[in-house]
Structure 1
Amino acid sequence: MNVQALRRFVQQEDLNFLLTNRVPRIALTRLMGRFSRIESPWLARLSIAVWRLFTDLDLSDAKQQRFASLHECFTRELVPGARTIDPDPSVFASPCDAIVGECGEVAGTTLFQAKGFPYQMGELFGPTQDSSPFRDGTYVTLRLTSAMYHRFHAPHDARLEHVTYLSGDTWNVNPIALQRVERLFCRNERAVLRMTLARGGHPVALVPVAAILVASLRLHALDVRLHLTYRGPNEMPCDATVAKGQELGWFEHGSTIIVFAPRGFALAPGIVRGARIRMGQELMRLPD
């Protein structure tokens, strides 16, 4: 069986769902976290070679080309200039490299993870967060595949004001699972990052959602790594001024970021389900 045939076999919907969800997800995720941090260059090379059998991993724009661990490869930095940040102050940029999932206007407080699978914004944000500023607003689901660049950045000049951590499950967040598991994003481990833009004082929110093998999130504004065994405070006020394109943190692997903006923000041309976007490109446009 050649590589392409092997990929097609593993990507069959029923088999993919079985392999990634009908397993002890949390235990497997913790095990993967420990394995990825083993410092062994030869083990890292072997793991990356296996990884490439199933993905289109491209390390040509990575700042370093040799990795002491799989974790170093997952969280790699890029060479300077590898991404261009749109300088237009009316542009709200993508915080990450991604494939666009469901997007558009929030219907009151209801949005979709996949066609026919609605969920409530308030449940995603958790009981302590006020989601009313985004009622009838605009949202975009950004899916980071395992092969993508996993760091995420400020979409605009802003002030990061609060982070809420919500523990949970680690369902896969690929399209196959999103079409089968109701309210999946509300079940998984996630964080809610609340920000206020310097231009217009608009509130925005980024909701990074964990997935199988990737229940770990690191934020620069808080000297803490959020993960399944985290036992610190769930509510973390902060006061960090960030510039457009400035790195906010990273995932340990591929996952999802759901972006929320209030009513009046418009999706950029070409932002539709299935489109690919890079960090720094236009995602939305601010109101006049």
Structure 2
Amino acid sequence: WNSWIPIPTGVGLTLLGVLQWRRLERKRKRNLGIIDVAEDWEIKCYTRLPLRAMSRALGHMSRISLPTALRSPVYGTYARLFSVNTTEMARPMDDYACFAEFFVRALKEGVRPLDNEILVSPADGKLLNAGIVESTQLEQVKGVTYSIKKFLGGLDWKNSDSSDRDINFNQLSKPYWDEYKKSLLHNKENELYQCVIYLGPGDYHRFHSPVDWKVNFRRHFNGELLSVNPSIASWLPGLFTLNERVVYFGTWEHGFFSFTAVGATNVGSIRIYDDKELKTNKKLSWINRSKVNKPDETHLDLSWSKGQLIGEFRLGSTIVMLLEGPKGLKFNVGCDQRVRVGKAI
């Protein structure tokens, strides 16, 4: 027995040493104003962690019924740890049979009034990014990007005349971006905008439609379940293209509109109330991991109105909106500011 103990101990100490060195190196670079992102070997190691299995296990655990006497103490502890505003809950703590119910708790009627602006926040959370999209590389957070093509997938769901079959997405130059944007937008005089909202563990976990719009297509990527915490998003390029996500495509009064719910570590599932066929956080074997980011697709015929309750996360995650709008469209909320359902953004 003693012969094998030093091996894992040595490996563990070496790993801790490497992680500590990386932490100090990142801190040093931040102090110098240098953006430090994950290297390929770090990304590979991170994606090999059993985060999907862990998330599935926690999802199952969250559905275990708790004795009534334990509910208030357990949920109350969680609320204190993650700053949950319990005064807004529609029901008392004792009414939630399990953690899963508590996570997706409804709010009291009237606590999230709907602004009259055409675009409102779909969720409670922190605004990570908002503004015009100027290339095929979108910002996750300041200075760290992801590919719009990988994030949305191909444009074959549109009419044949707007297919992306002749566009070379390996190029990052402006002509290729102009061609992609042209194939996406309905009005060539408009621009494409992005809005990214991070939902933390203590936030209200249901989400609502940010505008009045028609939904005609859904694409589900069975990706990874990596953390989407802002500290990870600022370190791991392409995070949103790696993770499991559900993309809804459609149109609003200014043209193209997409709404994406991005999965994350410990998110038991993403549920969309009008999409009964959607199944997320499914078990993936090592055999089919190579197909982890190949999407399931379906055509839809849905109409969602501004403020309408449309879905929920089982814990916290991220919502990404990509929308066509007139030139000069301004967001009135800055990055890292808090947003609330129904408030104009």
TM-score, normalised by the number of residues in structure 1:
0.82
Question: In the TM superposition, what is the alpha-carbon distance from 1:218 to its structure 2 partner?
Answer: 0.9
User: Of 193, 212, 218, which residue of structure 1 is paired with 2:271?
Assistant: 218
Q: Residue 179 in 1 paired to residue 208 in 2? A: no
In 2 relative to 1, CA 41–160 (structure 1 residues): closer, same or farther, beyond 3 Å?
A: farther
Could you tell me whether the CA contact under 8 Å between 2:58 and 2:268 is conserved in 1? no
- Identity level (%): 27
Equivalent AA in structure 2 for residue 25 of structure 1: L
Equivalent AA in structure 2 for residue 186 of structure 1: T
In 2 relative to 1, CA 253–129 (structure 1 residues): closer, same or farther, beyond 3 Å?
A: farther
CA distance in 2, matches of 1:224, 1:32: 23
Equivalence map 1:10-21=2 (5 Å): none
Higher helix share: 2
Which residue of the partner structure matches residue 80 of structure 1? 109
Which residue of the partner structure matches residue 140 of structure 2? 113
Which residue of the partner structure matches residue 259 of structure 1? 321
Segments of structure 2 that go 5 or more residues without pairing to the other structure are 1-19, 24-45, 159-179, 285-294
Which residue of the partner structure matches residue 287 of structure 2? none
Which residue of the partner structure matches residue 64 of structure 1? 91
Could you tell me whether the CA contact under 8 Å between 1:189 and 1:215 is conserved in 2? no
Question: In the TM superposition, what is the alpha-carbon distance from 1:268 to its structure 2 partner?
Answer: 2.7
Could you tell me whether the CA contact under 8 Å between 1:192 and 1:207 is conserved in 2? yes
Equivalent AA in structure 2 for residue 111 of structure 1: L
User: Of 64, 82, 87, which residue of structure 2 is paired with 1:38?
Assistant: 64
Q: Residue 26 in 1 paired to residue 26 in 2? A: no
Which residue of the partner structure matches residue 282 of structure 1? 344
User: Of 280, 302, 305, which residue of structure 2 is paired with 1:240?
Assistant: 302
Which residue of the partner structure matches residue 168 of structure 2? none
Which residue of the partner structure matches residue 188 of structure 1? 243
What root-mean-square deviation, in Å, do the aligned CA atoms of Structure 1 and Structure 2 show? 2.8
CA distance in 1, matches of 2:243, 2:120: 25
Could you tell me whether the CA contact under 8 Å between 2:79 and 2:86 is conserved in 1? no
Higher strand share: 1
Could you tell me whether the CA contact under 8 Å between 1:163 and 1:238 is conserved in 2? yes
Question: In the TM superposition, what is the alpha-carbon distance from 1:44 to its structure 2 partner?
Answer: 4.2
Please give the secondary structure, in 1, of the residue aligned with 2:130: strand
Equivalent AA in structure 1 for residue 273 of structure 2: H
Question: In the TM superposition, what is the alpha-carbon distance from 1:282 to its structure 2 partner?
Answer: 0.9
CA distance in 1, matches of 2:102, 2:120: 25
Aligned length: 263
Question: In the TM superposition, what is the alpha-carbon distance from 1:138 to its structure 2 partner?
Answer: 0.8
Segments of structure 1 that go 5 or more residues without pairing to the other structure are 1-11, 15-20, 284-288
In 2 relative to 1, CA 230–206 (structure 1 residues): closer, same or farther, beyond 3 Å?
A: farther
Report the more deviating stretch, 33-42 or 186-195.
33-42
Equivalent AA in structure 2 for residue 229 of structure 1: K
Please give the secondary structure, in 1, of the residue aligned with 2:64: coil
Name segments (4+ residues, structure 1) moved above 6 Å.
none
Please give the secondary structure, in 1, of the residue aligned with 2:87: coil
In 2 relative to 1, CA 225–187 (structure 1 residues): closer, same or farther, beyond 3 Å?
A: same
Report the more deviating stretch, 115-124 or 29-38.
115-124
